[in-house]
Amino acid sequence: MNKAELEKIWSQVPVDYYEKGIVRNLGQRYWHKQKFLVIKKLLADFFPGKILDIGSNGGGLTAKIANLFPKAKTVGIDVYEKSVFHASSLHPNITFLVADGRNLPFKNNHFDLILCLETLEHVVDPNKTLLEIKRCLTKNGRAVISMDSGNLLFRIIWFFWIRFGKGRVWRGSHLTHFNKKILKEIILKNGFLIEREIVSHFGMAVTLQLKKK
């Protein structure tokens, strides 16, 4: 898929989608609230100094993570320039950069915590992105990967969600189709250990806490 095709997919989703969409849609509001509670639970005993959020979009979830760790330096990256500008305008206390997860502009062993939340399925090469996460993660750092589990219930809801109403902006956005089994396989293949696994949202979502081998 070339850059123009990717830009077309990225531009389908308004940069303020999360601020407006979640407020208006009960299902989305529930989904994202539960997602944040899962992440908060995983990180309850962790105090990172440097945090990276890959796929920060409009910056809403990045800001919530930054509020959990006010003493940490938090950076959010996204490939879509308009989303980065929007996030920067809303959250000037956080550094937002235009960058690709396949080629992170950071030195080795730089971040204590790297988040890739509902993003890996949207990237061109998940394997390269995972290798970059491993490269930039400190020896005792944590990575958190979260996405849909690909179970039957999710597939049914997703089928209708991307065809009717506001969910149509996500049509074609999943560049790689995962389920929990496939996700865990590529994580292990790329040099991580899975420390914790939480399945949530009636089995429709999975969140994994990782460390380097």
**Number of Cβ within a 10 Å radius of residue 86:** 21
Distance from C-alpha of 49 to C-alpha of 108, rounded to nearest angstrom: 15
Distance from C-alpha of 79 to C-alpha of 56, rounded to nearest angstrom: 9
Superfamily of domain 3-212: Vaccinia Virus protein VP39 (3.40.50.150)
What's this model's pTM, rounded to 2 decimal places?
0.95
Closest CA to 18 of 6, 41, 36, 5: 36
Closest CA to 174 of 4, 6, 3, 2: 6
Lowest-pLDDT choice from 28-32, 57-61, 109-113: 28-32
For the chain, give every domain's residue range. Answer: 3-212
Please report, in angstroms and rounded to a whole number, the separation of the first and last CA atoms in the chain. 32
**What's the pLDDT at 23?**
52
pLDDT at 102 over 90: yes
Distance from C-alpha of 147 to C-alpha of 117, rounded to nearest angstrom: 6
Residue that is written with structure tokens 């995962």 in the block: 178
**What's the pLDDT at 189?**
97
**What's the pLDDT at 21?**
58
Query: Rounded mean pLDDT of 165-171?
Result: 87
**What's the pLDDT at 147?**
95
